[in-house]
Amino acid sequence: MTTPRILLIATGGTIAGVAADPSQPAHYQAGSLDAATLLSALPGLAGIADIRLRQPFNLDSCELGPAHWLAIAREVAAGMDDAAIDGIVVTHGTDTLEETAFLLDRLFAPTKPLVLTCAMRPANALSADGPSNLTRAIEAAITPALAALGTVVVIDERIHAAAWLRKHDARALDAFDHGGSTIGRCGPIAIDFEPRVPPRIPGRIEVLGLLPRVDVLWVGPGSATDLLAAALANGACGVVLALPGNGTLPTAWRKAVDHATKRQVAVVRASRTSRGAVSAAPDDTPLLFAAGRLGPAQARAALMLAIAAQLPADHFFG
Ligand code: SIN
């Protein structure tokens, strides 16, 4: 049997972070170590996979934007097209992993395992979680059955569907889920298949170069509705409202939302909560609709992608 060939695309994050004092892991610089250094800490991986490295950039994920998403997508596309690659792993910061994972999931057909991984503690912390997460991610990427799940995220021995990913904890090692994203466990791998297949547009990664402005507005009791008018005035092509509870639109916001949708600006009702799906409401319209299982961050990415690809605004919300 030939050794599986894995493409490892390293992009930075805490998994590549270094703390000045390993006993103080809260103070560190993300994106400090390169891919080869990360891998050199795990010599045992050479026994299970032949790993090729790519490093498009090495950054804190809060610094990323559409140009970085496009750079990652191009690296992934090259790996997907390369018959000499069996699976792909992307290392990434946790802070904006929701957006990157979502976009990759919607842009690539599930033909090879595509696994994102990350860490909550820097690489030199006394209790670093990156080495274990990267090991589990490589193991996942050499598991052909995983391809059918689309893009997945491996962290803390859990497998999450990128489509439903939410970061729910600023510190814990199991920082993700609470949006119902966990679809399996790894190490050893057990997978529960997610029955819903999200809509994708494989092969259209260039739309990442056309993403329009979409704003997220957080709505609390008495929040000023002129925020929506300001977003529109400043060129927003879509707006995601992070609303209370089940995406409940306060009465005071109705007029501002109607004004937006009359101008063909889509408005998504998302929730400020971290669990459960926002359900459709009787007065929803093609341009005012529920985020479903997508949190505000992913709803924004979904709407940007739909607008750039000239698809109906709710295309990725099914
Ligand atoms: C980042 O998102 O790049 C820094 C934080 C992290 O990876 O946990």
Domain ranges of the chain: 5-191, 212-317
25 Cβ closer than 6 Å to some ligand 1 atom: no
For the full predicted model, state whether its pTM sits above 0.85: no
- Distance from residue 253's CA to the centre of ligand 1 (Å): 34
What torsion, rounded to 10 degrees, do the Cα atoms 101, 98, 234, 265 define? 70
135 Cβ closer than 6 Å to some ligand 1 atom: no
With CA atoms as reference, report the closest residue to 90 among 57, 120, 123: 57
32 Cβ closer than 6 Å to some ligand 1 atom: no
Determine whether domain 212-317 maps to CATH 3.40.50.40. Answer: yes
99 Cβ closer than 6 Å to some ligand 1 atom: no
Strands 214-218, 190-191: pairing is unpaired
Minimum-distance ligand 1 atom for the alpha carbon of 15: 7
94 Cβ closer than 6 Å to some ligand 1 atom: yes
Cα Rg, the chain, nearest whole Å: 20
With CA atoms as reference, report the closest residue to 198 among 72, 90, 293: 293
Beta-bridged to residue 114, according to DSSP, are: 88, 151
Q: What is the pLDDT of residues 9-56, one digit of tens each?
A: 999 999 999 999 999 988 999 999 999 999 999 999 999 999 999 999
**Under 8 Å CB-to-CB from 284, ≥6 apart: which residues?**
269, 290
77 residue type, one letter: A
- Distance from residue 315's CA to the centre of ligand 1 (Å): 29
Q: What is the pLDDT of residues 276-311, one digit of tens each?
A: 778 889 999 999 999 988 999 999 999 999 999 999
CA-nearest residue, atom 8 of ligand 1:
94
pLDDT digits (tens), the chain, 318 positions: 689 999 999 999 999 999 999 999 889 999 999 999 999 999 999 999 999 999 999 999 999 999 999 999 999 999 999 999 999 999 999 999 999 999 999 999 989 999 999 999 999 999 999 999 999 999 999 999 889 889 999 999 889 999 889 999 999 999 998 677 888 777 654 444 454 667 899 999 999 999 999 999 999 989 999 999 999 999 999 999 999 998 999 999 999 999 999 999 999 999 998 777 788 899 999 999 999 889 999 999 999 999 999 999 999 986
Minimum-distance ligand 1 atom for the alpha carbon of 97: 2
The CA distance from 26 to 35, in Å, is: 22
Instruction: Return the DSSP state at 223.
Output: -
Minimum-distance ligand 1 atom for the alpha carbon of 59: 3
**Under 8 Å CB-to-CB from 184, ≥6 apart: which residues?**
158, 159, 190, 191, 192
The residues annotated with a catalytic role in the active site are 14
What angle do helix axes 226-233 and 251-262 make, rounded to 10 degrees?
20
Determine whether domain 5-191 maps to CATH 1.10.10.10. Answer: no
CA-nearest residue, atom 2 of ligand 1:
93
Mutate to test the pocket of ligand 1, among 62, 63, 95 (most ligand atoms within 8 A of CB): 95
* Same fold flag, 5-191 and 212-317: yes
- Distance from residue 250's CA to the centre of ligand 1 (Å): 34
pLDDT value of residue 189: 44
Dihedral pair phi/psi, residue 156, rounded to 5°: 55, 45
The CA distance from 126 to 181, in Å, is: 29
